[in-house]
A and B are shown apart, each in its own frame.
Chain A
Amino acid sequence: MSELNWEDLRDTDFCVMKTLAERMDTYIAGMVEQAEVLTEDVASKHLSTDHYEGDTADAVRDQVGYVADSFQDDLSIYVNVKIKATLEDAHKELAAAQQDLEELLGNIEAGKFAITGPADDHRVELSEDLLYDISELNPPSLLLSRTRFTEADLNADTGRHLVATELNHAAEDLADAFGQALTAIMTRAHEAESEAVSVLKSILDEPAAQPPPLGATYDDLIDDYQEAADDRNVDFLNELTSGDSEATPNGVNEWWNDLDQDERDALLEEYPGLLGPLDGLPAEVRNDANHVNLHNEIDSIEQQLAEMDATLDEYPYGGSFDEQEYLSLQNQLENLNSLQDRLETGEENGEDLYLLDFDSAVDGQAVVSVGNPDTADHTAVYVPGTTSDLEGIGGLVDDAAVIQGDDNDWGPAGEETAVVMWLGYDASDSAYPTHNDKINPEAWSASYAEDAREDLYNFVEGIDASHEGESHTTLMGHSCGSSVVGATARDYQVAADQIVDFGNPGLMVDTADSLSGGADSVWSTRADGDAITTAAGLSYPLGIDPVAPEFGGQTFDSEAIGDGGCSIHSGYLKDDKGADPNIAREHMVDIITGQKQ
């Protein structure tokens, strides 16, 4: 249980972590220079074969190489990945949480609310001053804006008791919302703290082997060391992908960058299955690995089906033939072929597609980027909603391509945008109340979003880590994909500058303040007649309607494109019926490319 309370979060100077991380860059550079002294000055120059020959000379040169390699590997994994990158990540998360806290405390003070309990109690209460102001019908503007009243109502001679009562209720609601926002901020801070502690403590688990010292037992020990050293990158990769490692995507990126090209090529050739889904690796590496994985999986399933066909030919009335398995494999193959077809089709504008992850199990998942997110000036990560699956991958990538094409066509000249279609989760299958004879449809359940949030958070951290230079990232959600975005930004300090949601039932919170980027970073729209409006009014468990004023986020206009509620719900990215451009898409371009803040 963390002892960090909101007063600690407010008062601690987390910049010391950033300063130390920068200091570590200098340290690492200095130590790499020392390793180079070993390999270049000592082994290649002073102890070259021109000056020193014999068995001892060979052994010493080898030992110099082992020591230098071991030192560089240790510097990379321990100092760069596990300490420095962890401090950078923790600083980023905690500094952002601190900034959100400062804004929240400012609002609490401006609204004349108070936190009177101990610092680990997040309840916000109405101050004596506020109660007095309400009784005098002189509320702070922040409170008045959350009621239906105007300044004129406050000065009217009649109905003053009614106004005071409603102001009091609004104040209590606002106090609850502030309390929830404070809890959300502290949850994110504690998550960041806990993650950093796990990584730093993991260093102590099992120190990496070092070369044995030259001496009587050297010959007995050096072979074991060589074997361990050869397997070290593979071992670390296995650790990263097994879930045992606490290294962050930023740490993964640092580790990959520290490898030389031969080491990277060897890992890519031998272990594409481990590299493909690894958050923090460059998009091109993941794409290369995942194309190999996709090809291999299609081959494997085709072979399994062929073997089952042969079994059926031999035993037409059964035998060991498993029809369920056969149908499941057929379904997987069709889905994978859909994915491959869409990748091969490519984009009319010549933009490259990057396969950043996929999984053929059950409904299937895939993450495909239109444009390279590592080099783009702006990146949007688009999370689709209910009924999204691998079978419909073509349409989902088409949607991402529409957003990407708009950004490049209408965005600032010379600036590139990449749009990632992130179906890295199991989306609900239906929004209809009668689905599977359930009263509540799947889409109204919080579990789909909550199961997806950690993966989405890590993915966005990964593209942030692998981005070349400063990144500008927007997290987008359509329909229940917005709930995934909301749950992620509620529980993590997600590496996105802003959130865009459209046709959205709720962002899993009651105020935009509760999301990691703060209220001003949240942009919502819903067209008139959108069928999702029914769910948006329910509040629980998906949160308050994000386009309602009391939610506190920003909104942008959209037109109803389509006939009927369901059609309108799916119409946000379609072309307008008339000659005018789709107004929602224009707004999205402005937000994604940083023109609207």
Chain B
Amino acid sequence: MAGAEVFSMEPDKVYDAVEALFGVEVAIRSAGDELLGECESTAEALTSGHCAIGDALDSAANFWCGGQAARLATLVGNLGEYLATAAEQTVEIDEYTSDDFARYADHELFPGRAAEQGSARPDW
């Protein structure tokens, strides 16, 4: 990503993107939690009738809601943190430091949301 010839940024627009990304992250997680609960109750009803589909459904739902979809939500959050730092620093990614992430992508800047995306930091 090095070697940029052009760099420009409107921080307000980038913050809008950050908010949208964090909104998507929350939406994926909450919809997944809700779906998982419904899958589990369906699985339970089937299992109580000795139908093997119950256990298989339970595993599949946990794989999706707690695994694959949750990891995608994490990726979206990761993007948000990156952009939050970018908006504050108005520099290219290569110039970030881990201190920047601790400072700009934390819950003081985005109340109610912990900056847990350690993987997004340049030193990860």
Which residues of A approach B to under 8 Å, CB–CB?
Answer: 2-5, 8, 11-14, 16-17, 19-20, 23-24, 27, 30-31, 34, 37-38, 41-42, 46-47, 51-57, 59-60, 63-64, 67, 70-71, 74, 78-79, 82-83, 87, 90, 94, 193-194, 196-197, 200-201, 203-204, 207-208, 210-211, 213-217, 219
Which residues of B approach A to under 8 Å, CB–CB?
Answer: 1-4, 6-10, 13-14, 16-17, 20-21, 23-24, 27-28, 31, 35, 38-39, 42, 45-46, 49-53, 56-57, 59-61, 63-64, 67-69, 71-72, 74-76, 78-79, 82-83, 86, 92-93, 117, 119-124
Nearest residue (CB) in A for B25 is A34
Distance, CA A12 to CA B24, complexed state (A)? 38
Cβ 8 A contact of A23, one of B35, B63, B120: B35
CB neighbours of B68 from chain A (8 A): 74, 78, 207-208, 210
Contact, CB under 8 Å: A197 / B53:
yes
Distance, CA A315 to CA B55, complexed state (A)? 66
Nearest residue (CB) in A for B122 is A216
Q: Taking A12-B51, A30-B31, A71-B28 as given, write out 17 further A-B residue pairs in contact, using a Cβ cutoff of 8 Å, ordered by the A residue number.
A: A4-B49, A4-B51, A8-B51, A11-B49, A13-B45, A20-B42, A34-B27, A34-B28, A53-B9, A54-B7, A55-B3, A56-B4, A64-B79, A78-B63, A83-B60, A201-B56, A215-B122
Q: Is the interface of B mostly helix, strand, loop or mixed?
A: helix
Contact, CB under 8 Å: B20 / A46:
yes
CB neighbours of B72 from chain A (8 A): 67, 70-71, 74, 210
CB distance from B56 to the nearest CB of A (A): 4
- Total number of A-B contacts with CB less than 8 angstroms? 185
Cβ 8 A contact of A213, one of B14, B39, B50, B117: B117
Contact, CB under 8 Å: A200 / B86:
no
Nearest residue (CB) in A for B61 is A83
Distance, CA A415 to CA B63, complexed state (A)? 45
CB neighbours of A74 from chain B (8 A): 68-69, 72
Distance, CA A42 to CA B76, complexed state (A)? 11
Distance, CA A469 to CA B50, complexed state (A)? 33
Distance, CA A8 to CA B49, complexed state (A)? 5
Cβ-closest 7 pairs across A and B: A12-B49, A200-B56, A54-B7, A46-B17, A51-B13, A55-B4, A3-B50
Distance, CA A366 to CA B1, complexed state (A)? 55
Contact, CB under 8 Å: A78 / B17:
no
